[in-house]
Structure 1
C-alpha cells in the first residue's frame, strides 16, 4: 500500500486529542496484519484510545520509528479546505495532521509493510501513541510495555516535522496550575475582602520578572531559536461579577527548560513568592492563599552530536548538520526512561502545524519515503 493512500485514510479520522483514536488504531492494526505483521495494542482504561507497537525482523536491536496519532482542534480556525479530508494542490497535501504528524505516521506504516518482505538482519519497530498534544500523556503506557519487553531497539527516530533535518534536542516542559483563594466582598467594600485575581496578578509579576532575569542572565543554547529557558502564563480564570470581589482565581503557566537547567531551581523564586503571598493572605483570612500543582511534565531531549544515532540518521538523509527544535516530543521520555538513543527527524515543517489549511509538501513526503527505503536497506545488511 502506498504512503499517500495510508495518509488519506489517517487524515479522515478526526483524532483530536479530546476524542477517541481507537478507530484509527484499529485501521493501522488491520493494515499491518494484512501485511503479515501482528501489532500490540495498549488501550487506555475505557478503551477509547490506544497505543500501538509492532516489530518486523525480531525483537532485539534495530530502529524504532515513533509518532503520535492525535491532532489539535480545528475549532475557531478559518479553514478553506475540509480539515479531515486529504486534498491536493500546488504540490501540497492539505489536512489536519498532515505535517504534525500523520505524514510521518503514514510513511512509517508503509515502510513497515515493505520491511515485512525484506528479510531484515536487524529489526524495524513502530511505536504510535495518543495524547501527545496534551503533553506526551498517552505514551507512558507504551514506555512501560517497552521497559518489560517485547523489544529492545538500538535507536529511535521520532518523526515530528523537521523538514527531514536531524534534531538532537528539545526543551523539557513543566505545566503548572496556581489556585489563588481570596475572600469575597461587595466591590463597594473591596478593601474588606481579598481579591483572588490580585493574588494571581502578584504571582504573575514574579513569573514575568523571573523570565526577564533568565533572558538576561540565564543559561543559553544558541542552537534554539529562543536560546534560554522560558516561563509563560497561558490562562487565567476568575471572578463572577464586576461588583463582587473574587474569592477564586486559577492560573495555568509553564516552564520550558533547556537541558542544562534544573526546573526546580528555576521555579524556586515562583514557589517562594507563592509562600510569601499565602502567609500575607492568611494573616487576614485563614483559608486564603496560593497553591501550585504540577499537572504535566516531560523531560527535554539532549542527544550528543557525536552519538551513533545522529551519524546513522544523517547518513540516511544526506544531512551534515543538526538542529534543535522548540516543541516537545516523546523523545525525551524514551531517552530518560529507556536509555534509548533518539533523534527527531520527519517530513514537513512545524511552521504549518496547528494552523488552518495545514499541509505537508509532496516533495517532503517523497523524501521521507526515500529515507525509510534507505533505512530498510541498512537493516537488511544489519546495523
Structure 2
C-alpha cells in the first residue's frame, strides 16, 4: 500500500472551547492549502469568549482545504479544514456562509481560500494578520489608520473592510474639465466595531444571566482601616523579603476565600436539576483585558496563604491580559470577585457568572470623615433561586468582618 493510500482525509474541527455551544472566531491561519503538516502542528488560531486557542493538526499529511477565513464565526465542532494525502479530493463539510467580501477586496490569484505563506506588509502602528495586510494593499487602506479589534489590538481583515466603508470617496472629475477645488472629505460620525468573538459571546452570556436568573444585590460597607494599614506593613516587608507586591485586591480575595469556605450554600452552582454546594473554594477573579472580561480561577483559594494567593492571582491576571489563558484555567469556579476600586468606582451591581450563585463586587474605599474610618463598599449579587436573602446577608456580613479583622485571620 502506498504512502498516499495510507493517509486518510481527516477533518480539522473547532474544539470545545469551555462554553458548550458557543462560537469561536478565526484569527489567523498558520498554513496554506497544499502545505505539508505533521500531527500536532498548530494550523490555526481561534478566539473564544475566554481565550485564544491553537488548533493542532489531527494527523500528518497535506492541507487539502481551508473552509473558514480570518474574521469568520465558526461553530463548535465545525469542520474548518481537511488534512489528507496530496491530491486527494475530499469535499469539506459545509459551513454557514460567511459574508462575501466586496469585489474590490478579491485576493490575488492563487490565494483564494488560504492565507499567504509569504511575508505581507505590516502596519506602522500595531500589527495585522496576513490576510488583513493583503486586503489593505488591494483596497488602498493605510493600516496605520485602522483600529484593530483582535487580541492585543491585532488588525483583522474585517477591520480593514470596516475602515474602507467609513471612508468617503471623492466625486469623479468629467473628462476634459478642470476639477473644482474639493472640499475636505466629511468624516463618518461614528466608528463601526463588529460585535463578534469574545465581545459577542460575553454579551450573550451577560444577557442570558440577567434574563434567566433571579439576581438580587445586597450592599454594605466594611471598615477597611485595618486592611489598608496591614497592606502598608506588608509592602514594607515585601521590599526586604523578596515577596510579591501585595495589592488591596489580594487581601480582599484572601478574606473572601476564607469566608466562602464557611458558607457552602453560597459557594455553590445552580441548575434546574440540582444545587451543588462545594467545600473547596475555586475563586474566580474578574479581569478586564481591554477586549473582553475574563475570569481565571484560583484553585482551592481558601487553603492558600496570603503570599501564595497573591502570586497565583498575579500569574492569572497576567495570563488573562496576555491572551494566554486556556479554557481549563477559567472553568469550574465556585464564586467570583470583581474589584473596580482601582478604577475609582464606589458602588456597582456585578452580574453573577453562571452557574455560580454569588459574585462579590468591591469598590474604592473612601474616608467616612476627615479623621474617620476608611469605608469599603461591598456589593453581593446572588441567585435567589439557590440562596435566600437572609443567608446572603449573613455571607456579606461575614465578608465585611473578615476584611475588618484581616490581620487576625492571616495569623490563624
TM interval, short-chain normalised: under 0.3
How does the TM-score come out when normalised to structure 1? 0.22
More helix by share: 1
Whose radius of gyration is greater, 1 or 2? Answer: 2
How does the TM-score come out when normalised to structure 2? 0.21
